[in-house]
Chains A and B, each alone.
Chain A
């Protein structure tokens, strides 16, 4: 008669402070579990490992600038994929769209750097990078709108085309034949107050606000939500779904192009096939975790970059294989994503037998 059993019950929406509390518990729990894992696997003191993580991210002003710059780039790409994802257009091609935007920037720097006055050069770089990103995103959107092709596969394929295009470009145009393009710092984006990353950060901050307004306050943003929530409703109220899909992917591609501009023009001043370094995909996670809200996405992109940079530092400080830091990152993300489940459901125990209620 005293059989106990457990089952899941959907929760009412929680008040905000409980919400924060659950997330805080998740982070603490993840740190404890990671600590146990670190001790078992390496025998190191977990507190020292965490200290090294923090120092890797915040240890010096150079590290802080680099952290914020990386957050800015990741956030920019996340902002780019968000309108498409909100519309349930699974744009997995940010990687390629950013890279091709970067390639367009590189090409402008290389071929027009000498002949154009500097302000004009910057404008041409901006236009070229955006156009390149748009072309890369609109081709799949067009095929989706006309022939209902699968956008996930299509955008993934476009990534390879972009990577190979960069490889071809480097092989063909780099005179030395080394395939490595020397940085062209003289044609880069302007440096503000002696801080080479400051302009990137300001641009992304402005973009964050603009994307927020675009999604929440404009008719376009409203149409994106309606199409994403229900295509039938969109048709019922007379929204031209194809038009919205293509228009949104133009926005998405243009933002990816800008991310490419910031990476090449603002940071690296050169390009390689790994310039984007998987951030086109990480951005999807940032966007989802941030519930497609640009303000939350600032936090999620910060978290991810912090973990990555901290983990890198741990590897060097303790001469540990990078797999260990990947494990720690994985554990922390697991808890943070896992706690979403407990925000939606609760576990209830049932006693079969005597009931008091």
Chain B
């Protein structure tokens, strides 16, 4: 430890409304090193990094760069100290080209010399092995390309310390490998790289050392070479957890929901679903894999009656009456009036599934408030249901009268999934139900889905973590640019196989 660290944090704390998001965190990174910040969602990883990037200001503690104490008050300050952060949600102007985005906000004259700038972008790309066309417009780019632009943007500004917030969340396995190769090249070039993640295998394959956070507290730093998955998990969660999902064999499979040749276009008339056909069977979990934004959302919303369908049919086989109904062009109300028990856990929890400013009881009512002929609301049933879900699913909340917005992500999701399951559905659709949840809460959700499958529900699970999809589902359909590019048996499929299917139609047919 003779050399001075590129960046060192000492006893950094940050409070939000009395709650510690970070408490006494100390860590350091040298030049030419990759450090992983590992922790569950809500453990304060992003908050910590935002303090280095000048977005938040620490309440306590000091930051040293090359051994000198610094005060970082704004992203501009961070840039002055050659710190660059690549956020999880990209901050790019869609109608500008890559180069225009890269030089945006720079105070120098080169802002107006696009040719020189483009050359410099090219030079950086070649040096680290990026694959990018400097003149391509952002809205024509894939997610992975956009990320590349973000990285070049901070390199262009001369960043020596790069922070990447969950960079692989939106990438396919192949793209992830490509990114890791680039990051390794940067490390060899003497850059310091901090990568925020909660995926263990990435930590192990990429980083030199790992700093673990748990509930805002700093647990420790270990060298990657001397650790393994189970030790890291234990540090992250605070206790030993077994990472196995009990998968039973599908029983009594009947064709519950048959989707045939579904076609949809969005508001601008761009095709978002292209001849999608699949069958969801009772007593089975059907996984849907694909790069984010490939039409998963629209597919589920079309089934739920929220998305206009241009062509095709959605047939529901009612187990009670034995009749088949076409759900196409029906509103959610009409679908329910047909006796179709369809539950839907949407991707956007607080924007669609729940109302953040309402308390748990009022959120329970969303599905059921219409019952009865009275003009007045009946809150007794919802109150009972709210209390039952809080107890059964171990929701951490002061009481049932707390606005759901104040709960943590995992507890919010338990309430949403709990409500949707309480309707005893025959079809349960869940879009990214564990996104942002910690390991414990994720496994609660997996178990709930599995219990529904045991009960004979047809479960449709849209996921992003391929490891989980392979472990949890029975069959997996892969969607790419709005088309089904393949169906695989989850028990025999590999991640690489699914990864290839995810990008298949993008490479063949070009972009929509």
**Which residues of A are interface residues toward B (Cβ below 8 A)?**
3, 5, 7, 9-12, 217-222, 225-226, 229-230, 232-233, 235-238, 240, 348, 350, 352-353, 355, 357
A-B contact pairs, 29 of them (CB 8 A): A3-B71, A217-B377, A218-B375, A218-B377, A219-B369, A219-B377, A220-B375, A221-B377, A222-B369, A225-B355, A225-B362, A226-B355, A229-B358, A230-B350, A230-B351, A230-B356, A233-B355, A233-B366, A235-B332, A236-B304, A236-B306, A237-B332, A238-B332, A238-B333, A238-B336, A348-B59, A350-B59, A350-B60, A357-B13
Question: Do A357 and B60 form a contact, CB below 8 Å, given A219-B370, A232-B352?
Answer: yes
Q: How far is the CB of B41 from chain A (nearest CB, A)?
A: 20
**A-side binding surface: helix, strand, loop or mixed?**
mixed
Are A9's CB and B16's CB within 8 A?
Answer: yes
Most buried by B among A218, A226, A237: A237
Interface positions of B from 350 to 370, Cβ below 8 Å from A: 350-358, 362, 365-367, 369-370
Partner of A222, one of B69, B332, B344, B362: B362
Bound complex: CA A317 to CA B349 (Å): 59
Q: How far is the CB of B317 from chain A (nearest CB, A)?
A: 22
List, in ascending order, chain B residues with CB within 8 A of A10's CB. Answer: 16-17
Are B18's CB and A218's CB within 8 A?
Answer: no
Are A225's CB and B377's CB within 8 A?
Answer: no
Q: Is B5 an interface residue (CB 8 A)?
A: no
Are A235's CB and B306's CB within 8 A?
Answer: yes
Q: State the 8 A-B residue pairs at the shortest beta-carbon distance, nearest first.
A: A238-B332, A238-B333, A232-B352, A229-B355, A10-B17, A12-B17, A237-B366, A236-B352
Question: Do A230 and B57 form a contact, CB below 8 Å, given A217-B377, A222-B369, A236-B332?
Answer: no
Q: How far is the CB of A196 from chain B (nearest CB, A)?
A: 35
CB nearest neighbor in B for A220 = B375
Partner of B376, one of A219, A229, A350, A357: A219
Partner of B18, one of A12, A226, A235: A12
Q: How far is the CB of A341 from chain B (nearest CB, A)?
A: 15
Question: Do A232 and B71 form a contact, CB below 8 Å, given A9-B15, A12-B17, A238-B333?
Answer: no
Are B331's CB and A238's CB within 8 A?
Answer: yes
Q: How far is the CB of B185 from chain A (nearest CB, A)?
A: 37
Q: Is B425 an interface residue (CB 8 A)?
A: no
List, in ascending order, chain B residues with CB within 8 A of A217's CB. Answer: 376-377
Q: How far is the CB of B418 from chain A (nearest CB, A)?
A: 16
Q: How far is the CB of A237 from chain B (nearest CB, A)?
A: 5
List, in ascending order, chain A residues with CB within 8 A of B15's CB. Answer: 9
Bound complex: CA A219 to CA B374 (Å): 9
Q: How far is the CB of A2 from chain B (nearest CB, A)?
A: 13
The interface bits of chain B over 289-329 (1 if a CB of A lies within 8 angstroms of the residue's CB, else 0) are 00000000000000011100000000000000000000000
Q: Is B228 an interface residue (CB 8 A)?
A: no
CB nearest neighbor in A for B61 = A355
Bound complex: CA A232 to CA B376 (Å): 24
List, in ascending order, chain B residues with CB within 8 A of A348's CB. Answer: 59
Are B375's CB and A232's CB within 8 A?
Answer: no
Are B367's CB and A355's CB within 8 A?
Answer: no
Bound complex: CA A240 to CA B305 (Å): 13
Are B354's CB and A233's CB within 8 A?
Answer: yes
Can you name 5 extra interface pairs (CB under 8 A) apart from A219-B376, A229-B355?
A: A222-B369, A226-B355, A226-B358, A238-B331, A352-B62
List, in ascending order, chain B residues with CB within 8 A of A221's CB. Answer: 377
Bound complex: CA A61 to CA B354 (Å): 52
Interface positions of B from 76 to 127, Cβ below 8 Å from A: none
CB nearest neighbor in A for B16 = A10
Partner of B365, one of A220, A222, A352: A222
Bound complex: CA A352 to CA B73 (Å): 13
Q: Is B287 an interface residue (CB 8 A)?
A: no
List, in ascending order, chain B residues with CB within 8 A of A11's CB. Answer: 17-18
List, in ascending order, chain A residues with CB within 8 A of B17's CB. Answer: 9-12
Q: Is B274 an interface residue (CB 8 A)?
A: no
CB nearest neighbor in A for B371 = A219
Q: How far is the CB of A75 from chain B (nearest CB, A)?
A: 24
List, in ascending order, chain B residues with CB within 8 A of A9's CB. Answer: 15-17, 59
The interface bits of chain B over 250-276 (1 if a CB of A lies within 8 angstroms of the residue's CB, else 0) are 000000000000000000000000000
Question: Do A7 and B355 form a contact, CB below 8 Å, given A218-B375, A352-B62?
Answer: no
Interface positions of B from 1 to 44, Cβ below 8 Å from A: 11, 13, 15-18
Q: How far is the CB of B373 from chain A (nearest CB, A)?
A: 10
Bound complex: CA A348 to CA B354 (Å): 33
Bound complex: CA A226 to CA B16 (Å): 28
List, in ascending order, chain B residues with CB within 8 A of A355's CB. Answer: 11, 60-61
Q: How far is the CB of B374 from chain A (nearest CB, A)?
A: 8
List, in ascending order, chain B residues with CB within 8 A of A218's CB. Answer: 375-377
The interface bits of chain B over 333-356 (1 if a CB of A lies within 8 angstroms of the residue's CB, else 0) are 100100000001010101111111
CB nearest neighbor in A for B306 = A235
List, in ascending order, chain B residues with CB within 8 A of A240's CB. Answer: 331, 333
Are B59's CB and A229's CB within 8 A?
Answer: no
Are B11's CB and A350's CB within 8 A?
Answer: no
Are B61's CB and A232's CB within 8 A?
Answer: no
List, in ascending order, chain A residues with CB within 8 A of B69's CB. Answer: 352
Partner of B348, one of A7, A226, A232, A238: A232
Interface positions of B from 237 to 259, Cβ below 8 Å from A: none
Q: How far is the CB of A194 from chain B (nearest CB, A)?
A: 38
Bound complex: CA A236 to CA B345 (Å): 10
List, in ascending order, chain A residues with CB within 8 A of B58's CB. Answer: 350
Bound complex: CA A240 to CA B355 (Å): 17
List, in ascending order, chain A residues with CB within 8 A of B62's CB. Answer: 352-353
Bound complex: CA A235 to CA B366 (Å): 11
List, in ascending order, chain B residues with CB within 8 A of A350's CB. Answer: 57-60
Bound complex: CA A237 to CA B362 (Å): 13
List, in ascending order, chain B residues with CB within 8 A of A353's CB. Answer: 62
Partner of A237, one of B57, B356, B367, B374: B367
Q: How far is the CB of B356 from chain A (nearest CB, A)?
A: 7
List, in ascending order, chain A residues with CB within 8 A of B351's CB. Answer: 230, 232-233
CB nearest neighbor in B for A346 = B17
Bound complex: CA A217 to CA B365 (Å): 13
List, in ascending order, chain B residues with CB within 8 A of A7's CB. Answer: 57
List, in ascending order, chain B residues with CB within 8 A of A219's CB. Answer: 369-370, 374-377
Interface positions of B from 40 to 80, Cβ below 8 Å from A: 57-62, 69, 71
List, in ascending order, chain B residues with CB within 8 A of A225's CB. Answer: 355, 358, 362
Q: How far is the CB of B406 from chain A (nearest CB, A)?
A: 9
